[in-house]
C-alpha cells in the first residue's frame, strides 16, 4: 500500500511537471477539478510532520504548488511576463488581498497561538501566490475552461451522490451515514462542501447554457442541471439550499435576460417538485426560519464564543488562527457538548474574532476590489461576454455565503482562482488568444 502511495505521488508530480512545461495554463482548470477530490488525501503517503503541517497531501495542493512553481519559473525566464506582472501593482485587488494577509502576519506579534498564526500565514501567502500565478498564466481563450471543468466534475459526481444517499454506502467518510439522515459527501470532506461545489457547477451550467447556440446542447445542459439539483438536494445541506436561492436570485436580478431566467425558472420548478416529493428536505429547510435556536448546540456556543472574543478585542482580534486556543483557555465554559467542536464554523465571525474590526474592514476592501474588477472586466469584454465575469463573481459569492456555516472562505483555493480569472478578464493586454 505504501509503495502504491509513493508511486502515485511520483506519477502525479511527473504529470504536473509535464503539463506545466507544455501547457501551463491548463493547470488552472485542473486545479478546479482537483478541488473536488478531498479523498485524494488517502492516495498519497502521509509524509510525517510535513504532511501534518500541510494538512495532508492532496491532488489540489500538488496542483496549486505546480501552478505557483510554473509561474515563478516563467516569470524569471520571460521578460514580457515580468512586465505584465508589474501591472498587478496598479490593481486594487492585489493590494486588498495583500492588506488582509499583512494584517494576519502582524497579528503574530500578539496572537494567543503564535505557532498556529505562523502556519495560517504561510497557508494564506501560498494561496496569494496561487492568485498571482493564475493572473500570470491564464489565457483569454480559455476563460470558460474552469467553468466547463467544474460543471463536468459536478455531473460526474451526481450519480455517485444519489447512489450514496439511496444505499447509505459511502466510498469515504462512512461515519456520516450513521445519523438519522444519510448525507453523502462523495469525494469531499463533508456534505456541506460537496453542496458548495455542486452550486458552483450549477452556476457554470447556467452560464454555459447562455453561450450555447445549439438547441440539442441546451437540452443536454438542462438535463444535467436537473441532475445537479437532485444531487444538491441529496446532501440535505441547509446552507447549500440557502446559498443556491441567494445566488440564483442574484443571477436573475443581475442579468435580467431570458437566456438566464429560463434555466433559473426551471430550477425553481424543480426545487418545488423536490420539496413535494421528499418531505425530509422540507423538514430540513424549516429549521432555517428558527434562526440560531435551530442550529445544533455546537454551532450555538461557537457563535457565542466568537462574539465574546470580538467584544473583548474589537480592534485587532485575538490573532489569526488563534480561535481554538483562546476558546479552550477562556471560553471553554460555553461548550455545551462534550467533545464538541472547538473551531469556529462561521467565516465572518472567525475574521471578527481573530482579526477584529481591522480584519472586517480588510474583507470589505476585498469586496470593493471585486466590484472594481467586475466593472473593468465589463468594459474590456463588452456585451454578452461579461457573463463570464459574472460567473466568477457568483462563484466567490457562493463560497462566501457557504462559508458562514463551514468557515472556509479565504482557505478555499477556488476563491483565489476566481479572483485571478477576474483580473485576467479585466486586463487590457493578453499574451495570446481571442474570443
Domain that holds residue 213: 145-291
| Rounded-to-integer distance, Cα 84 and Cα 75, Å | 9
| Rounded-to-integer distance, Cα 41 and Cα 433, Å | 36
Check whether residue 151 and residue 287 sit in a common domain.
Answer: yes
* Torsions phi, psi for 184 (to 5 deg): -65, 130
Comparing 174-183, 230-239, 251-260, 349-358, which segment has the lowest mean pLDDT? 174-183
Q: What does the pLDDT look like over 123-158, one tens digit per residue?
A: 999 999 999 999 999 887 888 999 999 999 999 999
13 lies in some domain: yes
| Dihedral class, residue 300 (left if φ above 0, else alpha if ψ from -120 to 50, else beta) | alpha
Residue 434 has pLDDT above 50, yes or no: no
225 lies in some domain: yes
All residues at 6 or more sequence positions from 366 whose CB lies less than 8 Å from its CB, including other chains: 93, 96, 97, 100
435 lies in some domain: no
Residue ending a domain, choose from 291, 322, 349: 291
Q: The pTM is what? A: 0.90
Q: What does the pLDDT look like over 206-251, one tens digit per residue?
A: 999 998 888 899 899 999 999 999 899 888 888 888 899 999 999 9
280 lies in some domain: yes
Check whether residue 27 and residue 152 sit in a common domain.
Answer: no
Check whether residue 71 and residue 151 sit in a common domain.
Answer: no
200 lies in some domain: yes
Calculate what percentage of the chain has a pLDDT beyond 70. Answer: 89
Three-class DSSP labels, the chain: CHHHHHHHHHHHHHHHHHHHHHCHHHHHHHHHHHCCCHHHHHCCCCCHHHHHHHCCCCHHHHHHHHHHHHHHHHHHHCHHHHHHHHHHHHCHHHHHHHHHHHHHHHHHHCCCCHHHHHHHHHHHHHHHHHHHHHHHHCCHHHCCHHHHHHHHHHHHHHHHHHHHHHHCCCCCCHHHHCCCCCCCCCCCCCHHHHHHHHHHHHHHHHHHHHHCCCHHHHHHHHHHHHHHHHHHHHCCCHHHHHHHHHHHHHHHHHHCCHHHHHHHHHHHHHHHHHHHHCHHHHHHHHHHHHHHHHCCHHHHHHHHHHHHHHHHCCCCCCCCCCHHHHHHHHHHHHCCCCCCCCCCCCHHHHHHHHHHHHHHHHHHHHHHHHHHHHHHHHHHHCHHHHHHHHHHHHHHHHHHHHHHHHCCCCCCHHHHHHHHHHHHHHCCCCCCCCC
Check whether residue 149 and residue 270 sit in a common domain.
Answer: yes
Check whether residue 150 and residue 281 sit in a common domain.
Answer: yes
347 lies in some domain: no
Query: Do residues 264 and 244 touch, judged by C-beta distance below 8 A?
Result: no
Check whether residue 73 and residue 150 sit in a common domain.
Answer: no
- The three cell numbers of residue 280 are 425530509
204 lies in some domain: yes
Q: What does the pLDDT look like over 83-106, one tens digit per residue?
A: 877 888 888 899 999 999 999 999
Q: What's the domain count of the chain?
A: 2
Residue with cell 469515504: 172
Check whether residue 287 and residue 150 sit in a common domain.
Answer: yes
Check whether residue 67 and residue 150 sit in a common domain.
Answer: no
309 lies in some domain: no
Residue 167 has pLDDT above 90, yes or no: no
Check whether residue 199 and residue 286 sit in a common domain.
Answer: yes
Amino acid at each position: 500500500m505504501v509503495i502504491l502511495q509513493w508511486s502515485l505521488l511520483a506519477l502525479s508530480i511527473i504529470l504536473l511537471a509535464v503539463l506545466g512545461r507544455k501547457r501551463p495554463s491548463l493547470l488552472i482548470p485542473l486545479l478546479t477539478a482537483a478541488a473536488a477530490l478531498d479523498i485524494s488525501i488517502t492516495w498519497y503517503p502521509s509524509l510525517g510532520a510535513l504532511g501534518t503541517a500541510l494538512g495532508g497531501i492532496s491532488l489540489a495542493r500538488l496542483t496549486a504548488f505546480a501552478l505557483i512553481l510554473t509561474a515563478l519559473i516563467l516569470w524569471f525566464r520571460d521578460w514580457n511576463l515580468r512586465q505584465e506582472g508589474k501591472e498587478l501593482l496598479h490593481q486594487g485587488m492585489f493590494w486588498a488581498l495583500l492588506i488582509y494577509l499583512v494584517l494576519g502576519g502582524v497579528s503574530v506579534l500578539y496572537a494567543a497561538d503564535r505557532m498556529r498564526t505562523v502556519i495560517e500565514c504561510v497557508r494564506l501567502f501560498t494561496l496569494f501566490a496561487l492568485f498571482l500565478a493564475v493572473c500570470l498564466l491564464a489565457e483569454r481563450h480559455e476563460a470558460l475552461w474552469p467553468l466547463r471543468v467544474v460543471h463536468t466534475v459536478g455531473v460526474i459526481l451526481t450519480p455517485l451522490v444519489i447512489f450514496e444517499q439511496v444505499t447509505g454506502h459511502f466510498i469515504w467518510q462512512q461515519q456520516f451515514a450513521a445519523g438519522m439522515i444519510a448525507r453523502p459527501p462523495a469525494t469531499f470532506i463533508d456534505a456541506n462542501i460537496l453542496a458548495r461545489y455542486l452550486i458552483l457547477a450549477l452556476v457554470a451550467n447556467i452560464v454555459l447554457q447562455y453561450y450555447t447556440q445549439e438547441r440539442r446542447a441546451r437540452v443536454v445542459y438542462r438535463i444535467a442541471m436537473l441532475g445537479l439539483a437532485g444531487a444538491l438536494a441529496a446532501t440535505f445541506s441547509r446552507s447549500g439550499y440557502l446559498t443556491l436561492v441567494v445566488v440564483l436570485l442574484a443571477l436573475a436580478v443581475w442579468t435580467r435576460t431570458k437566456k438566464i431566467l429560463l434555466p433559473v425558472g426551471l430550477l425553481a420548478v424543480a426545487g418545488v417538485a423536490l420539496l413535494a416529493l421528499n418531505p425530509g428536505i422540507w423538514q430540513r429547510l424549516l429549521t432555517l426560519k428558527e434562526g440560531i435556536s435551530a442550529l445544533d448546540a455546537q454551532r450555538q456556543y461557537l457563535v457565542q464564543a466568537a462574539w465574546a472574543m470580538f467584544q473583548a478585542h474589537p480592534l485587532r482580534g485575538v490573532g489569526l488562527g488563534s480561535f481554538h486556543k483562546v476558546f479552550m483557555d477562556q471560553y471553554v465554559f460555553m461548550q455545551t457538548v462534550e467533545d464538541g467542536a472547538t473551531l469556529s464554523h462561521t467565516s465572518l465571525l472567525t475574521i471578527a474574532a481573530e482579526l477584529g474590526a481591522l480584519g472586517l474592514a480588510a474583507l470589505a476592501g476585498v469586496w470593493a476590489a471585486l466590484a472594481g474588477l467586475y466593472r473593468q472586466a465589463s468594459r474590456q469584454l463588452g456585451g454578452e461576454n461579461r457573463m463570464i465575469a459574472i460567473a466568477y463573481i457568483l462563484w466567490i459569492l457562493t463560497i462566501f455565503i457557504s462559508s458562514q456555516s463551514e468557515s472556509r472562505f479565504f482557505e478555499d483555493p477556488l476563491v483565489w482562482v476566481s479572483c485571478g480569472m477576474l483580473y485576467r478578464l479585466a486586463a487590457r493586454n493578453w499574451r495570446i488568444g481571442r474570443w
